[in-house]
């Protein structure tokens, strides 16, 4: 009985070591379509993404920001372009939203931060619908 217990204990310890080591895969290394916000600035200023893409927004600042579509760049008012609109609402951390699968290639959707409007270092940025766009690494 004692041998069985010791063998079980050794097997448990070995499996714990295997499950604890080696893997350094993290969500932030996954390829995707990303917008980052750092020091009140959006990056990139023109994200190329295909129809139906999920956009991940990473807010690296301690304060809340949003990514909110507007009909015209610099309007600082929620709006849509060709029926495409999005609004993350003010957030910290990471949020995602998905572009419509039927979004027309070449459509440009400007966006802004509802919290800081024109006081952002980059007050306006945009998403361009590009069916050939490929996912890139996380920022």
> In the predicted model, what is the mean pLDDT of the chain?
85
Q: Find residue 69's DSSP bridge partners.
A: 111
- Does a structural domain hold residue 85? yes
- The structural domain count of the chain equals 1
pLDDT single digits (tens) 44-89:
999 999 999 999 999 999 999 999 999 999 999 999 999 999 999 9
Look at residue 52 in the predicted model and tell me its pLDDT. 98
The pTM for the full model equals 0.79
Which domain CATH number covers 122? 2.60.40.420
C-alpha 131/C-alpha 117 separation (Å) is 29
What's the rounded Cα separation, in Å, for the pair 40 and 31?
Answer: 24
* Residue 137 included in any domain: no
Question: What is the domain range of residue 109?
Answer: 31-129
Q: Check pLDDT > 60 for residue 139.
A: yes
3-class SS of residue 43: strand
Order of strands across the sheet with 33-38? 41-43, 33-38, 54-59, 93-98
Distance from C-alpha of 43 to C-alpha of 46, rounded to nearest angstrom: 8
């Amino acid at each position: 009985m004692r041998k069985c217990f010791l063998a079980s204990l050794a097997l448990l310890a070995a499996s714990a070591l295997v499950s604890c080591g080696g893997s350094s895969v993290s969500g932030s290394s996954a390829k995707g379509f990303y917008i980052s916000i750092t020091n009140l600035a959006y990056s990139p200023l023109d994200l190329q993404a295909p129809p139906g893409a999920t956009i991940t927004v990473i807010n690296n600042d301690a304060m809340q920001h949003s990514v909110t579509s507007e009909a015209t760049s610099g309007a600082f008012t929620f709006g849509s372009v060709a029926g495409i609109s999005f609004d993350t609402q003010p957030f910290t951390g990471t949020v995602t939203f998905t572009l419509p699968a039927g979004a027309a290639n070449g459509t440009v959707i400007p966006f802004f931060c509802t919290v800081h409007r024109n006081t952002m270092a980059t007050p306006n940025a945009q998403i361009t619908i590009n069916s050939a766009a490929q996912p890139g690494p996380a920022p």
